[in-house]
Amino acid sequence: MTMDRYVITGKQRLEGSIRTSGAKNASLPLMAAAILADGKTGLQGIPHLTDILCMGEVLKSLGCKTQFSSNELTIDSSSLNDCIVDEALMRKMRASNLILGPMLARNGRVKISRPGGCAIGTRPMDQHIKGLQELGVRVEERHGYIEATAGKLRGGDVYLDIPSVGATENIMMAAVLTEGTTIIRNAAREPEIVDLQNLLNKMGARIRGAGTHVLRIDGVAKLKSTEHTVIPDRIEAGTHMVAAVMTGGDILVENVIPEHISPIIAKLRQGGAEVTPYGDSVRVRQKGQFKALEIKTLVYPGFPTDMQPQFLALLTIADGTSIVSETIFENRFQHVAELRRMGARITVEGRTAIINGRPNLEGAFVEATDLRAGAALFLAALAAEEGTVLERIDHIDRGYEDLKEKYRALGAKIQRVVKQ
């Protein structure tokens, strides 16, 4: 874990172009899906992030060979030699639970350390397990490990109580190599599910319905090697768009799929920002003061929970009183205490934050408690008067590629101080 920190001098107007990297949350399931091919999978546009490196370690521990250079990742899964993911790797990154489905489909058994809760919530796996059981998987939990065995996987009819992104992905990946047809009802509709369907179908799978609430997967006997380019990161793009507004700037965010960021565009326009899509770019300009908003996080295509902290930071300097309701994760307001250190006026009642905007934030010593909390504090620091020291930026390294370099090119004053 890095103990590096950012030292940021705020109040610089940001201007210019910034290129969005490939999506972390699409790349991780695509990497897990590579387990399903009996050969090499080539993935392009994969961002250099600690989460990606960690997933690479998980795959290596299962016998895959990986090569990663210039955002191109090759995963060779022709020989899998182990089925156990140890606790240290699981603790580093929850998304390593995405190997459950593909390992069961390819190898018939797998053992992972049960992921614990994390800063943003308890994050149980009951929907993943329920779905896998419906496909004929036996699941036992012992000594903190989930052991799953599938004699022969069969198609099944799965109803998810909540449209969980990870559960939908895991069940899709388990179902592709079964005999028979699997239906997933109340499936997640996020763009990352569509990207996963696209890769799997290129590999020879027969999946329909991604992007809707019902997925149909007709099992096939074998999947082949293929290549795929990951979709752009809609949360990274959204973070840059908020940066433009918070610094009174003018930024062209490149490599976006405008439809994926439609709730972000809508909310920024509602607050008074000028947002103009140009093909696969979007220009965001802010003149004058941004206005207070009401925001409620929802599953896609609703407002994404992964943008809630960044918008909350923006609303601390908006004109008027804003209300932000978090409906996805039960503990995703840890950035509030840190933003208060910067002068923000926020009260939290249950899952609702009430923000009384003020003209300016003040630089302070603050600490990232999780990835998007870190992004929110980074944005707050860019807008604040004087300097901010932002600690625990290892959280930010999980999800933002070349952040310092990208923002320096826009005119931000940032130093990364390496702690010896």
Ligand X SMILES: C=C(OP(=O)(O)O)C(=O)O
Residues with active-site annotation: 118
Buried/exposed code over 308-319 (b: 16+ C-beta within 10 A; e: otherwise) = bbbbbbbbbbbb
91 interacts with ligand X by CB under 6 A = no
Quick one: which of 27, 113, 164, 182 contacts ligand UD1 (CB under 6 A)? Answer: 164
Q: How far apart are CA 372 and CA 305, in angstroms?
A: 9
Buried b (16+ CB within 10 A) or exposed e, 206-220: ebebbeeeebebebb
We find the least distance from the C-beta atom of residue 166 to ligand X, in angstroms, to be 8
Residues 6+ apart with CB under 8 A from 420: none
Residue 364 neighbours by CB distance under 10 Å:
20
375 binding partner (options ligand X, ligand UD1, none; Cβ < 5 to 8 Å by kind): none
Among 21, 25, 71, 182, indicate the residue that binds ligand UD1 (CB under 6 A): 25
Could you say which of ligand UD1, ligand X, none residue 372 binds, taking C-beta under 5 to 8 angstroms by partner kind?
ligand X
CB of 189 to ligand UD1, least distance (A): 11
Nearer to ligand X, 28 or 390 (CB): 28
The two beta strands, 365-367 and 387-391, are parallel
Which of these segments, 68-76, 120-128, 239-247, 256-264, binds ligand UD1 (CB under 6 A)? 120-128
Annotate each residue in 280-319 with x if it binds ligand UD1 (CB under 6 A) or - if it does not, as one string.
-------------------------xx-------------
Q: Which is nearer to ligand UD1, 162 or 417 (CB)?
A: 162
| Residues flagged as binding site | 24-25, 94, 123-127, 306, 328
DSSP codes joined into one string, 309-331: HHHHHHHTTSBSEEEEE--S-TT
* Residue closer to ligand UD1, measured from CB, 165 or 252: 165
| Cβ neighbours, 10 Å, residue 360 | 13
- How far apart, in Å, are the Cα atoms of 56 and each of 40, 41, 377? 14, 13, 29
Chosen residue from 31, 58, 75, 95 binding ligand X by CB under 6 A: 95
Residues 267 to 306: which contact ligand X by CB under 6 A?
A: 306
Query: For ligand X, how many residues bind (rule: CB under 6 A)?
Result: 7
Cα–Cα nearest to 139, from 112, 157, 178: 112
- Strands in 5-9's sheet, in edge-to-edge order, are 365-367, 387-391, 5-9, 413-417
Binding flag, residue 95, ligand UD1 (CB under 6 A): yes
127 binds, among ligand X, ligand UD1, none (CB under 5 to 8 A by kind): ligand UD1
One DSSP character per residue, 242-280 reads HHHHHTT-EEEEES--GGGGHHHHHHHHHTT-EEEEETT
Q: For residues 182 and 153, is the Cβ–Cβ distance under 8 A?
A: no
- Kindly write out the interface string for residues 179-218 of this chain, putting x where it contacts ligand UD1 by CB under 6 A and - elsewhere: ---------x---x--------------------------
**168 SS3 class:** helix
148 scored as a contact of ligand UD1 (CB under 6 A): no
Smaller CB separation from ligand X, 203 or 335: 335
What residue 245 binds from ligand X, ligand UD1, none (CB within 5 to 8 A, per partner kind)? Answer: none
Residue list for the binding site for phosphoenolpyruvate: 24-25
Name which of 171 and 371 has its Cβ closer to ligand X: 371
Inter-CA distances, 126 with 122, 248, 294, Å: 12, 44, 32
Partner from ligand X, ligand UD1, none binding residue 374, C-beta < 5-8 Å depending on class: none
Cα 340 to Cα 290, 313, 356, 366, 379: the distances in Å are 19, 10, 11, 10, 14
Identify the CA nearest to 339 among candidates 301, 307, 365, 370: 365
Listing from the earlier edge strand, what are the strands of the sheet with 181-185?
157-159, 181-185, 214-218, 206-208
Q: Check whether the bond before 301 is cis (ω within 30° of 0).
A: yes
Q: Which is nearer to ligand UD1, 115 or 209 (CB)?
A: 115
399 binds, among ligand X, ligand UD1, none (CB under 5 to 8 A by kind): ligand X
Q: Which does residue 195 bind out of ligand X, ligand UD1, none, counting CB within 5 to 8 angstroms by kind?
A: none
Neighbours of 117 (CB within 10 A): 12
* Residue 25 binding ligand X, by CB under 6 A: yes
- Which stretches of the chain bind ligand X, using CB under 6 A? 25, 94-95, 306, 371-372, 399
Residue ranges binding ligand UD1 (CB under 6 A): 25, 28, 95, 121, 123-128, 162, 164-167, 188, 192, 305-306, 328-329
